[in-house]
Amino acid sequence: MAKDTTTPGESPAALIDARIQELGGWRGQTLARVRALILQALPGVVEEWKWRVPVWSHHGILCTGEAYKTAVKLTFPKGASLPDPSALFNASLEGHTRRAIDLHEGDTVDADAFQTLIRAAAVLNKPPGR
């Protein structure tokens, strides 16, 4: 499994690449797909490796990408404050702050709606006056 922390020469992007390779199959493909959508939606997004999972940040965490046996979970720490007109959020709905998207084998993500959600998360994180 990919390491918790980086060592010299190991970038977060490389650790995320390794995690995608390690997962393989539908989980690896799903994580690779949402990663590509995030990078496309928000040029300049920062990829990080925290808590043994990929993290995408822009003035704070946008979302994390965890892989479980039956789902790839994208957790938005401020998800409850985000508009979700396409109803992408389908997990952690009872939380007062976070929301998540659980993707299971065979699921597809609405690329436009997902990228809109990523951009909205970035706007929410934006410091006042910037």
Domain boundaries, the chain: 12-125
Which pLDDT score is estimated for 6?
47
Residue 76's DSSP bridge partners are 99
Distance from C-alpha of 40 to C-alpha of 51, rounded to nearest angstrom: 24
pLDDT in tens, 77-125: 999 999 999 999 999 888 889 999 999 999 999 999 999 999 999 999 9
Q: What is the pLDDT of residue 7?
A: 53
> What pLDDT does residue 93 have?
87
Question: What would the CATH number be for the domain defined by 12-125?
Answer: 3.90.1150.200
72-76: strand order across its sheet = 46-50, 53-57, 61-67, 72-76, 99-103
Confidence of residue 2 (pLDDT cuts 50, 70, 90): very low
